[in-house]
Structure 1
Amino acid sequence: MKPSPKPAPAPGTSEAEGGTLRRGPLSDEVVKRGMRLSVLEGIAFAMMVGLSEAFFLADAIRLSASRLEQALVVTVPLFVGSLGPLLGVVLLARMRARKPLVACTALAQALGLAGLSFATYAGFSSPILLIVAATLHGFFGQSGGSAWSSWFGDLVPEDVRGRYFAGRNRWIYGATFAAILTSGLVLNSLEARTVIASDGAGSPGFALIYGLAALFRFGSAALHFATPEPRFGGLTPIKRAAQFTRTASGRGLVRLILANAIFYFAVYVASPYFAPFMLGELHFTYLEYTAATTIVIAVKVLVLSRWGSVVDQMGPRPVFFVAALIVGIIPLPYLWTEGLGWVLVGQALSGLSWAAYELSLFSLLLNRTYRGIRPHVFALQSLLNGAAQLGGSLAGAALLATIPGADLRLIFAFSMGLRVLVALALPVLVPEQRNELMLGRRAVLMRVIGFRPSGGLLMSGSLRVRKRRAEPQDHE
């Protein structure tokens, strides 16, 4: 008689001598299941983004938010959210698993959206409440980012990573597009045809899209809990990361991060005011606003691979300079537009140029760092970007307050001038670096893990995080 078969080891374990179980590599089948679950999670996440974040500013206008409050709805979540990666790095240094952090932050976002949906339907919402809700949403959203990047960098095999994330991204882009379009249709059906400031009365349209966003984020959290996690090797100690900044390569990296923050300051002098300009001054319908939002996504998807080819041919540094100059002139069509046509031109130019800027910047950051310190580098970049975005928006609001009756076009022109000046100075601010590692298009594009309409590409900077004995050999 054959002995009874022994039960299979649990996911994430392997069988040692004597029949005991120890932590070990995941089986191929478990890895494939985790990758399939991650595609579904990415779709749920993208639906949440398109049903909520893309319309926070439109809701602020509905709630009679002032110009300053409109800016704060955009930038305070970015600034406070930029503290999230710092918290994530601190927690990761003390944790033995990444899944709890990622899943719990997703759950916190879902609960926040559910509360916002109820407050919006019941008429309790206000600009201040919306700012607080958006800020907590952004903070929890970014707190789990480093852990997610580390987790799925370890889970997805290196030889299929490019194909896998490319396929996952197609689903994410499609889901984001569908969610924004759905939101526009819902608001166009249940709300006034154009955005009309209210006294805080209940809004069935915004309550519905926030409620749907919460459901998708609950589903996303559940999928995180169900996805297997490989063994976690820990992060590079922050002391070693600080030592890197004192090397020649580290000093060049710091200059790049600071130059990018200065450019973001110039951009965000005007960036929070484009949506209020469309909805408040051009009186766009929700469908027109939706069209203007989705064209950015469509153009980015179309040109991202092409820009990757250019980065391969020329290197990321010259592409970074050219892209910054094109970003600088994005406000130009808004100086004379009176309707949807020129806005679509400006939005398409935004998608074209930001795809190049974000991709080339990320390539430079990858080329000038090694794997173990990247979570720390991206946490620092996030913090400085958040501070620059908040500072730029406050400068724009101060300029509007200083000039009574100032047209938003004045802010657009001022921001355009600042952007172009900074873009022209970038070759001096970001000098060429010796022995810079050149990563090809596939190596960079496989790190693009998602997209936010107002926040650009989401990148994974720590796809494989493990302990290292020597720093100079850590380049990929």
Structure 2
Amino acid sequence: MQLGVPGWITWMADLVPRQIRGRYFSQRNRFAGGFAIGVSLLGGIVLDFFREKDSAYDGYLVLFLLACTAGLAAFFFLGKQPEPPQADPQPLPPLSTYLSRPFQNKNYRRILAFYLALLFPVGISAPYFSAHLIKVLEWDFRLVAATSIGTSIVSLIVEPIWGKLVDRHGHRPVLILCTIGITHLPIYYAFGPYDLYWPFFANALLAGAFWPGLNLAMFGLLLETTPQEGKAGFLAVQATLNGFMNFLASGLGGILALWLASVHFEWNGLLFNNYQILFFLSAMLRVPSLLLLLRISEPTATRTYVLVRRAFIPLDRTISFGRHILAIPKGKASHIKENKNFSDSFAGQISTGSVISPDRQAEQDQTRSSDPDQ
């Protein structure tokens, strides 16, 4: 499947105008996510049906056959997509030059370093989230599918939001926000009590909120930063390194899971096993990727704090909350400070008697009117 990724991404760069890429791909992912909700629910029902008949392997076989059928249908529709006319192909440079050219681009090297540093900890723990729910917590497949459905529902809601933010503010600030958001996600599994459901569903909902933004911004950043000439080579190098990193991370994760299989202990009233150690390790190893992300340059992008403040403007218009929680404008802040100083000064004069309060003034006026000598 990875063989077709560079060609498909290059094709999408030609088909989709730069100005609407964020919104277009967010809508595309939104439709795909909506379909995934129904498919996840159907898959859970099918697996539970065959599991009750002690033939779980037959259930997996049915799902794999359905997946192959869907893949053939996708191939058919892909062939119906019209393609814009292409210029005359240029002769390819030597293979060594073709493969080394991406590494001569400083900013592209930084993008690769960030994404590979993020893929490694993600790949270590990714295969074991469902295994922890099914084998350790003994959840049924319907409940496991419910977490995926929750993730998909949140993705449907936030995809258009991330698309608009990418188009308006650039890819880098969205990547920073979403990387911060996904860094702590494995902690919910690492320290989630076995008898509670909410930490695992909270993980699913937050994953649905932040992963779509990260994937969308990363995809757009690759299209934006790679040159038009030789774009396929840049993307091929990136896809190759991604595949190698996923292979390395999943292999290391499997070795660690087997090596720690006998580890079971209790700490502070919580039970821990080998999977949870991997989850904690994954969360800690995601932090350095954020530091590498800060080194990426995108001249047309706004600063992250600007994106955050402007993202609160629609909320401020509806419930008058957004901008006030972030900052008070300078003029308003000085006005509030002057009012506060005046109030403190006025209260001090009342306490010393230099200024008479309204209640005391009314009392003195009433005394004067009742005294005949005055």
The normalised TM-score by structure 1 is: 0.53
Whole-Å Cα distance in 2 between the matches of residues 314 and 162 of structure 1?
Answer: 11
Q: For residue 291 of structure 1, report the CA deviation from its aligned partner.
A: 0.8
- Per-residue CA distance 1:337-372 (angstroms, 9 max, x = gap): 424322111011112221222223233323322223
Residue of structure 2 in register with 1:142 after alignment: 2
Give the 3-state SS of the residue equivalent to 1:331 in structure 2: helix
Match of 2:143 among 280, 284, 288: 288
Match of 1:183 among 40, 43, 46: 43
Q: For residue 271 of structure 1, report the CA deviation from its aligned partner.
A: 1.5
Q: For residue 244 of structure 1, report the CA deviation from its aligned partner.
A: 5.0
Whole-Å Cα distance in 1 between the matches of residues 13 and 221 of structure 2?
Answer: 20
Match of 1:212 among 48, 54, 66: 66
Whole-Å Cα distance in 1 between the matches of residues 71 and 19 of structure 2?
Answer: 30
Match of 2:297 among 432, 450, 474: 432
Residue of structure 2 in register with 1:317 after alignment: 172
Whole-Å Cα distance in 2 between the matches of residues 320 and 162 of structure 1?
Answer: 13
Deviates more, 1:335-344 or 1:253-262: 335-344
Residue of structure 2 in register with 1:370 after alignment: 227
Task: Indicate if the aligned counterparts of 1:238 and 1:376 stay in contact, CA closer than 8 A.
Answer: no
Alignment partner of 1:348 is 2:209? no
More helix, by proportion: 2
Residue of structure 2 in register with 1:389 after alignment: 246
Structure-2 change in CA distance of 1:235 and 1:405 (3 Å): farther
Structure-2 change in CA distance of 1:167 and 1:317 (3 Å): closer
- Per-residue CA distance 1:316-349 (angstroms, 9 max, x = gap): 3233233222211001111224243221110111
Q: For residue 168 of structure 1, report the CA deviation from its aligned partner.
A: 5.0
The 5 A counterparts of 1:1-400 are: 141-150=1-10, 169-192=29-52, 203-233=57-87, 234=89, 237=92, 244-245=101-102, 250-312=105-167, 314-334=169-189, 335-338=191-194, 339-400=196-257
- Per-residue CA distance 1:367-407 (angstroms, 9 max, x = gap): 32222333222221111122222222222233333335231
Whole-Å Cα distance in 1 between the matches of residues 10 and 218 of structure 2?
Answer: 20
Structure-2 change in CA distance of 1:192 and 1:420 (3 Å): farther
Task: Indicate if the aligned counterparts of 1:337 and 1:343 stay in contact, CA closer than 8 A.
Answer: no
Residue of structure 2 in register with 1:409 after alignment: 276
Letter in 2 for 1:363: G
Task: Indicate if the aligned counterparts of 1:266 and 1:419 stay in contact, CA closer than 8 A.
Answer: yes
Letter in 2 for 1:426: L
Q: For residue 426 of structure 1, report the CA deviation from its aligned partner.
A: 3.5
Q: For residue 285 of structure 1, report the CA deviation from its aligned partner.
A: 0.9
* CA root-mean-square deviation: 3.3
Whole-Å Cα distance in 2 between the matches of residues 163 and 262 of structure 1?
Answer: 27
Structure-2 change in CA distance of 1:336 and 1:369 (3 Å): same
Whole-Å Cα distance in 2 between the matches of residues 363 and 156 of structure 1?
Answer: 11
Give the 3-state SS of the residue equivalent to 2:230 in structure 1: helix
Whole-Å Cα distance in 2 between the matches of residues 302 and 317 of structure 1?
Answer: 21
- Per-residue CA distance 1:10-66 (angstroms, 9 max, x = gap): xxxxxxxxxxxxxxxxxxxxxxxxxxxxxxxxxxxxxxxxxxxxxxxxxxxxxxxxx
Letter in 2 for 1:347: A
Structure-2 change in CA distance of 1:157 and 1:347 (3 Å): closer
Paired residues in the alignment total: 287
The normalised TM-score by structure 2 is: 0.65
Residue of structure 1 in register with 2:359 after alignment: none
Give the 3-state SS of the residue equivalent to 2:48 in structure 1: helix
Task: Indicate if the aligned counterparts of 1:325 and 1:419 stay in contact, CA closer than 8 A.
Answer: no
Whole-Å Cα distance in 2 between the matches of residues 150 and 260 of structure 1?
Answer: 19
Unaligned runs of 5+ in 2: 264-272, 303-374
Structure-2 change in CA distance of 1:357 and 1:389 (3 Å): same
Letter in 2 for 1:204: D
Whole-Å Cα distance in 2 between the matches of residues 155 and 367 of structure 1?
Answer: 14
Give the 3-state SS of the residue equivalent to 1:191 in structure 2: helix
Letter in 1 for 2:249: G
* Identity fraction in percent: 25
Task: Indicate if the aligned counterparts of 1:325 and 1:424 stay in contact, CA closer than 8 A.
Answer: no
Letter in 1 for 2:257: L
Task: Indicate if the aligned counterparts of 1:331 and 1:416 stay in contact, CA closer than 8 A.
Answer: yes
Whole-Å Cα distance in 2 between the matches of residues 296 and 235 of structure 1?
Answer: 44
Higher Cα Rg: structure 1 or 2?
2
- Per-residue CA distance 1:202-245 (angstroms, 9 max, x = gap): 73322222222233333333334455555454478355755754
Whole-Å Cα distance in 1 between the matches of residues 215 and 118 of structure 2?
Answer: 12
Structure-2 change in CA distance of 1:153 and 1:370 (3 Å): closer
Structure-2 change in CA distance of 1:208 and 1:321 (3 Å): same
Structure-2 change in CA distance of 1:363 and 1:146 (3 Å): closer
